[in-house]
Structure 1
Amino acid sequence: MYQIGDLVVYGGSGVCQVTALGEPAGMPDNRRLYYTLQPLHGTEVIYAPVDCKVSMRPVLTADEAEHLIGQLPAIQADLPETGNVQLLSRRYQEAFRSNSCLDLVRLLKTIHQKDSAARKQGRRPGKVEEHFRKRAEDLLYGELSAALSIPIEEIPAYIRRRLGSQTTA
């Protein structure tokens, strides 16, 4: 059970802080316990039953985040074998449902490769890919930001510096 003040990754909402535990106001006679969650990068308030089915896990530790960043060059894209937009969307959504940073990295690499191939052929990257890329970056960078105590907007530059120092070492 999470405690007040804990940082968790809650489904597709990203990193949230547990701000309360108990029955939410306005839900009289509700015998279920709820987490009150405040997304770090949002304004809504989420009431999640303690026994909810939505994936909830602790935020990566700083060591886990650093390890993930160090592994980025070795993580392979998972190139889809279909051009069907609905099938692609479903496949991309599975990366979000897994609530895994590793799956988000694979998704981002897959989208980057697809976008690069489209540009080489003189085409613009697809809108589906753009939507999922933005969402995956928001979730991944939000968690790395919380784990490493670095502002979210500085995460891409931090990753580039880290990976650049690995190749020169």
Structure 2
Amino acid sequence: MFKIGDTIIYSSHGLCQIDSISEKTFSGITKTYYVLHPLDNEKLEISTPIDNKTISTLMVKEEAEEILNLFTEPGIEWIEKGNQRTQNYSLIIRKGNRKEMAKVMNTLLVKKYELENQDKKFPEQDRKLLLSMQTILLSELALSLNTTTEEISDKIQHLLGLTEEVIFTNE
């Protein structure tokens, strides 16, 4: 069990801090809940049962290096149908598996690069997915590797062999 003040990873919200632990009753069932907020949004309050499977500890340096190394390999398969792609990729984000998220991010970054080099527009739903994953993954990797998100961003682009800026910055 985590303690008040701990920084944890919470599914698609990324880095969160536990503000309190309390009993709450919903539909006649009383459970213990963490009350937390994302580090990048102190105004958002989230309550989640302490047995929630999408809560995890911060990744260790070795795991962060392993995730970065995934950017030297092909990502996941690109799904041509936009709605199906959004649905499948969103599910991966919600599950919170950082290795799978890195593979999706890899695929989206490469596709964004390819489209922009053909003077084509990167689809808006893909832009939102990519931005969401970047917000989560870059900050976790930076924290675990004791560096900045900018350095992680540069490293990922280098590993992918991309010569132009494709990672969104401060949007």
Under a length normalisation based on structure 2, what TM-score does the superposition of the two structures give? 0.76
Q: Find the aligned partners of 2:127 and 2:157 in 1 and give their Cα distance.
A: 25
Q: Please identify the structure whose Cα radius of gyration is greater.
A: 1
List structure 1 runs of 4+ shifted beyond 4 angstroms.
160-163
Distance 1:128 1:89 in 2: 7
SS at match of 1:23: strand
Is contact 1:35-1:50 (8 Å) kept? yes
Please give the secondary structure, in 2, of the residue aligned with 1:32. strand
Distance 2:157 2:91 in 1: 30
Distance 2:158 2:106 in 1: 18
Bigger share in helix: 1
Which residue of the partner structure matches residue 21 of structure 1?
21
Among 74, 77, 80, the alignment partner of 1:79 is 77
CA distance in 1 between counterparts of 2:144 and 2:36 reads 17
* Structural mapping, 1:35-114, within 5 Å: 35-43=34-42, 44-52=44-52, 55-74=54-73, 76-82=74-80, 84-114=81-111
Q: What 5-or-longer segments of structure 2 have no aligned partner?
A: 160-171
In structure 1, C-alpha distance between the alignment counterparts of 2:142 and 2:83, rounded to whole Å:
32
Task: Check the 8 A contact 1:23/1:30 in 2, yes or no.
Answer: no
Shift of 1:37: 1.2
For 1:33, the aligned partner's letter is T
Distance 1:154 1:119 in 2: 23
Q: Deviations over 1:105-162 (max 9, x none)?
A: 11111112222332343312111221111111011012113323434444324x3699
Q: Could you tell me whether the CA contact under 8 Å between 1:41 and 1:142 is conserved in 2? A: no
Aligned Cα root-mean-square deviation (Å): 2.8
Question: TM-score normalized by structure 1?
Answer: 0.77
Q: Distance in 2 between matches of 1:20 and 1:13?
A: 17
> Which of 111, 116, 120 is the equivalent residue of 1:123?
120
Segments of structure 1 that go 5 or more residues without pairing to the other structure are: 164-169
